[in-house]
Structure 1
Amino acid sequence: MTPNRVLLTAAVAGAAGAVLLPLDRPGLGWVLTALVVFGLLRRVAPGWAALSTALFAVGAFLAAEWLFALCAVAGCAAGSLAVAGGRTARGLVLGSVAVPVASFRALPWLARGLRGGGVPAAARPVLVTVALLLVFVPLLAGADESFADLLGTLTPEADGVSLVVFPLVALGVLGACHLLAVPVDLDGTARPARRVARRDWALPVGALVALFAAFAGVQLTTLLAGDAHVVTTDGLTYSGYARTGFWQLLAVTVLTLGVIAPVARFARLDTDRDRTWLRGLLGALAVLTLVIVASALTRMWLYQQAYGFTVPRLLVLACELWLGAVYLLVIAAGVELDGARLARAVVATGFGALLVLAALDPDRFVAERNVERWQRYGTIDLPYLSTLSDDAVPAILTLPDHLRDCAFAMRGPFTADDWRTWNLGREIARRRTAEAGLTACGP
């Protein structure tokens, strides 16, 4: 890609982002911007690009801003991987941030390419087009009010948001072009990895296996007891059972990955005996960690059954489920001692878990579970329900009139959307509320 074309591509992408991208809320413009950017770059990994586009598309369907913030960050990381690539764990970590880092390195690279070239030939017709539009659009808009209104609905106001979005998107695309033109070895394949002999890793991993086996033996009794363990244990409550152990178990689950990954990467496998030891110890460690994952899931599930569902509780539950899937991938890879695709599978399933969570529609799911809890026990936390996004509105509308009106009285007004900020969740909420003869602020 020539410097002239790089400059034009970055300018077009920046202009598209300034027109399409709504920074204040989830909306259709996010996925449209992603499609434009990938269409301009073209030479990207299709799988990562599709995953990135799907993550940004969540903004067109769900109104939950917390969930879309996670999806947007993951979408940027997947988009960076679509450009930079990465096969190993090291390469995937570096590849997920390669584009924003390369954006700053790309500026001097582009300046060197354009030095002494004058106005790029490819940019001349664009500059002429812009000049003509700057002359004739204001004249025609001033001649007819209806035409001016049409232009106002199609183009955003040149506010501070547009002025911020243009350079951000343009710089990102510039960094992507730099990586495509000057690839970087993110996986570190140029330097062979230093291998560790069995005597250096077998003892520490074996000690962990013994520790986890003892813990799993204790946990199996409580897992089988389930709800009865909390009920029959003096001084133990559902809240205490979950809070005193869940976060520690979550930390153990994550840290164990930090043990398995380097051992699998750097263990020296000179003989079949080495392979047998590696497969046996890491396999046992992964299986025992699944027991720890099951224990953490049980604690959080019992807690939610006792005290009701909330978004943070659902989020950590989903995180534990994903970690369980990761350990199943580790076990599957260990059967054949083939970890070449494991790192990519772990990252891809992480992004996929976000999409599954979005398909669940967390705010609506939580609201429906709380409504069911009210139907069963007659208790409900209306102030909390009122803090959920517009995705929860259809569930709130199923409450009796006095509870529904109380919840709506605590909610803010609906925000107006144009075609860039259109969102299915907010649209459904507005329609259902109007059909019920209500507004977001009460009857």
Structure 2
Amino acid sequence: MGDHMSAPIIIPPKAPIPVAKPKRPSRFWRPDRTSMATRSMLVGASGVGALAALILDPGFVSIAYVIVGVGVVIVFGILTPPRMSTTQWAAAMGMLALLGVAAVRGAEWLVFLCVVAAWVLFTWTLIGGRTWTGILLGTFAPWRAPHRTVNFVRRRKLATRSAPRVPAARVVVVSAVSILLLLIFGSLFVSADPEFAKIFGGFAPAISVSNPGARIFAGVVMAFGTLVAVYLRRRTPTVDAFAPAQATPLPMWEWAVPLGVLNVLFLGFVAVQTKTLFGGDEHVQVTDGLTYADYAREGFWQLMAVTVLTLLVIAVAVRYIDRRDAGSRRLARGLLGALCLFSLVIVASAVHRMWLYENQYGFTVLRVSVFATELLLGFVFVLLLVAGIRMSGKWLPTAVLATSAVALLAFAVFNPDAYIAQKNVERFEGGKSIDVSYLRGLSVDAVPALDRLPEPQRSCALSRYRFGVPGTTAPWEFNAAREKARDILEARPVGPCLQMYTVG
């Protein structure tokens, strides 16, 4: 009987099924073989191009920037389906607000920063992006879309080829070229002959086109750029899919020890240097061999480097924390939260040092700009604290983007060139020296403050405007800062600068 009994069957334990990691996408773009531009899109883009060719001069800061921007928003926001969300419209309005700085401020460096920020908001409106990688890739997406946009327009042309009527694209192009030529040459004739101008009764504005080739090129670029924006709205690339996946969590001690050591270092620095950090004038005056330059300027750059490196450390650390473990979450909140709080103290110290330095040696564009940047970094640490408390930072990239845009707008409202001139004039009125050679390089935003200087310092500071401020011949060349400066200098012309004053 035993011979007929079968041997026991041993069932091996089941091997764990490996969890496949999500594959990185192989395509930046979604497949597209059918989308095509509509007639309204083509007409709108052509209109934007004609408008840009007529009024936009990239080298001349004016209200034309925002006028052309409004045209672009109308095409991709209203004439292009689907409807934009409330968030997208808010970003589009922020973009227009940044472009609007060119209508009220004359500082070209400030307008340039606002145009760059407007580009970032523009691409975010079209593409979105909820990760750092997505936002960064989105800013470069329009540069990868031209050939797809050509196919986008070409499919429209092929679809209408069999129709007996004239293709809509040709009608749009011919109409746009005709209107553009009429406006440009008509305006030139009006400017050339007063009798011809009377015939039109002011219908055509008198303009002077110094470089018509560049204007036409700008119009073509804006028209095609608007079509690219339309295509990105219709076929949005998958930018967030390229964001790095959450890293494999490390054992708690492997990330807790470095963060703990860094916290101890920060605590020791803040505790030992409390008197130095916020000592101000008294600390500088009682310390042998310490000057304001050593205390404020060098200390500021070192502390700002600490601030930026701390942000990088936090960004790396959060990727390796096991958020599913309650103990890891509590420890991470404590260590990262303490690091953010210590960093806020260091930010406050850096701001304090730069404030002392500026009051002692005067205000410049660089000093005021880095001062504002440090304040923005401090607010980013506050956002990190909120994200740490919630243990969720999916909203953080979008929040930092929005905060940066609002901060730049606030900086433009603050009017840095005017503030720099005002503070330096106040220092001079208080008996301190003034660097006229530096102040004469400020933009027209500084004219109202520099007009308060006595002679001959006033004429030397305003010597670049001795022959007046460039005038405007058309409404789209309006700039509030230039108009205000022109009124001031017409009422009180600038005299010759007999000597370049650099001291009081």
For the criterion TM > 0.5, the same-fold answer is yes
Equivalences for residues 106-117 of structure 1 within 5 A:
106-111=149-154, 114-115=157-158, 117=160
Residue in structure 1 matched with residue 294 of structure 2 by the alignment: 240
Letter matched to residue 102 of structure 2: G
- CA offset digits 1:239-279 (Å, max 9, x no partner): 12223222222122112212222333453212211110121
Q: Does 1:163 align with 2:216?
A: yes
Say if 2:324 is the partner of 1:290: no
Measure the CA separation in 2 of the matches of 1:228 and 1:135.
69
Distance 1:314 1:104, change over 3 A: farther
> 1:388: how far off?
0.7
Larger radius of gyration: 2
Question: Contact (CA 8 Å) 2:134, 2:243: kept in 1 or not?
Answer: no
Contact 1:51 1:78 in 2 (8 A): yes
- Is 1:401 the equivalent of 2:455? yes
Of residues 33, 37, 41, the one that matches 1:3 is 37
CA distance in 2, matches of 1:262, 1:17: 44
Q: Is the 8 A contact 1:311 1:366 kept in 2?
A: yes
Closer, same or farther: CA 218–104 of 1 in aligned 2, 3 Å: farther
| Matching of residues 277-426 of structure 1 within 5 Å | 277-411=331-465, 413=467, 414-417=469-472, 418-426=474-482
Partner residue in 2 for 1:123:
169
Give 2:4's aligned residue.
none
Shift of residue 97, structure 1, vs aligned partner:
3.0
- Determine the structure 1 residue equivalent to 2:64: 29
- Call closer, same or farther: CA 1:356–1:127 in 2, change over 3 Å: closer
Cα 1:266–1:419 shift into 2, 3 Å: farther
Note if contact 2:92-2:121 (Cα within 8 Å) is conserved in structure 1. Answer: yes
**Aligned partner (choices 278, 287, 310) of residue 224 of structure 1:** 278
Q: Which runs of 5+ in 1 are unaligned?
A: none
Tell me which amino acid in the other structure corresponds to 1:432.
I
Counterpart among 57, 65, 82 of residue 125 in structure 2: 82
Instruction: Identify if the C-alpha distance between structure 1 residues 287 and 191 changes in structure 2 by more than 3 Å, giving closer, same or farther.
Output: closer
Q: Hey, what does 1:431 align to over in structure 2?
A: 487
Q: In the alignment, residue 324 of structure 1 is paired with which amino acid? A: G
Q: CA deviation at 1:236?
A: 1.1
Corresponding residue for 2:3?
Answer: none
Q: Deviations over 1:289-333 (max 9, x none)?
A: 112211211221111011011111101100001111111111122
C-alpha separation in 1, matches of 2:217 and 2:170: 25
3-state SS, counterpart of residue 419 of structure 2: helix
Letter in 1 for 2:484: I
SS at match of 1:401: coil
Do structure 1's residue 268 and structure 2's residue 314 form an aligned pair? no
Among all aligned residue pairs of Structure 1 and Structure 2, give the percentage whose two residues are the same amino acid: 37
Matching residue within 31, 43, 48 for 2:91 = 48
2:460/2:497 contact within 8 Å kept? yes
SS state at 1:399 partner: coil
TM-aligned CA deviation for residue 19 of structure 1: 2.1
Q: Is the deviation greater in 98-107 or in 60-69? A: 98-107
**What CA distance in whole angstroms lies between the structure 2 residues aligned with 1:136 and 1:403?**
49
Change beyond 3 A, Cα 1:146–1:318: same
- Superposition deviation, residue 76 in structure 1: 1.0
Report the Cα distance in structure 2 between the residues aligned to 1:336 and 1:382, rounded to whole angstroms. 52
SS at match of 1:183: coil
Contact 1:433 1:440 in 2 (8 A): no
329-338 vs 215-224, greater mean Cα deviation: 215-224
Equivalent position of 1:188 in the other structure: 241
Amino acid at match of 1:91: G
Cα distance in 2, alignment partners of residues 242 and 188 from structure 1: 44
Instruction: Identify if the C-alpha distance between structure 1 residues 255 and 191 changes in structure 2 by more than 3 Å, giving closer, same or farther.
Output: closer
Residue pair 1:90, 1:187 contacting (<8 A) in 2 also: yes
- The 8 Å contact of residues 387 and 411 in structure 1, kept in 2 or not, is answered as no
Alpha-carbon distance in structure 2 between the residues aligned to 1:175 and 1:440: 51
State the one-letter code of the partner of 1:276.
R
Instruction: Tell me the amino acid that sits aligned with residue 175 of structure 1.
Output: V
> Per the alignment, do residues 326 and 134 of structure 1 end up closer, same or farther by CA in structure 2, a change over 3 Å counting?
closer
CA contact (8 A) 1:4 1:123 kept: no
**Is the 1:283–1:331 contact (alpha carbons within 8 Å) kept by the matching residues of 2?**
yes
Which moves more between the two structures, 238-247 or 358-367?
Answer: 238-247
CA contact (8 A) 2:124 2:138 kept: yes
Indicate if the aligned counterparts of 1:19 and 1:162 stay in contact, CA closer than 8 A. Answer: yes
**Structure 2 spans left out of the alignment, 5+ residues:** 1-34, 78-82, 499-504
- For 2:72, give the aligned amino acid: V
Runs ≥4 in structure 1, deviation > 6 angstroms?
Answer: 134-140, 440-443
Shift of 1:426: 0.7
Query: C-alpha offsets along residues 187-243 of structure 1, whole Å, 9 cap, x if unaligned?
Result: 228985333233443233223222222222233221332221211111111112223
Partner of 2:27: none
Q: Aligned partners of 1:260 and 1:421: how far apart in 2?
A: 47
Q: Distance in 1 between matches of 2:181 and 2:480?
A: 38
Within the candidate set 139, 144, 159, 2:196 is matched to: 144
After alignment, is 146-155 or 281-290 more displaced?
146-155
Shift of 1:106: 2.7
Q: Which moved more, 1:86-95 or 1:193-202?
A: 193-202
Which residue does 2:228 correspond to in 1?
175
SS in 1 for 2:57: coil
TM-score normalised by length of structure 2: 0.80
> Partners in 1 of 2:272 and 2:182 — Cα distance?
78
Q: Is the 8 A contact 2:72 2:226 kept in 1?
A: yes
Deviation, 1:139, is: 8.9
CA distance in 2, matches of 1:244, 1:189: 40
Structure 1 residue 410, shift from structure 2 partner: 4.8
For 2:94, give the aligned amino acid.
L
Q: Which moved more, 1:200-209 or 1:154-163?
A: 154-163
Q: CA deviation at 1:151?
A: 2.6
Q: CA RMSD in A?
A: 2.9
Distance 1:440 1:329, change over 3 A: farther
Task: Quickly say closer, same or farther: Cα 1:77–1:139, change in 2 above 3 A.
Answer: closer
* Mean CA deviation greater in 342-351 or 257-266: 257-266
Mean Cα deviation higher: 78-87 or 331-340? 331-340
Aligned length: 442
Q: What CA distance in whole angstroms lies between the structure 1 residues aligned with 2:376 and 2:386?
A: 15
**2:312 aligned residue:** 258
Equivalent-residue separation in structure 1 for 2:179 and 2:221 (angstroms)? 24
Residues 178 and 205 of structure 1: CA distance in aligned 2, closer, same or farther (over 3 Å): farther
Per-residue deviation, 1:157: 6.5
Matched to 1:2, the amino acid is M
| CA contact 1:84–1:179 (8 Å) conserved in 2 | yes
Structure with higher helix content: 1
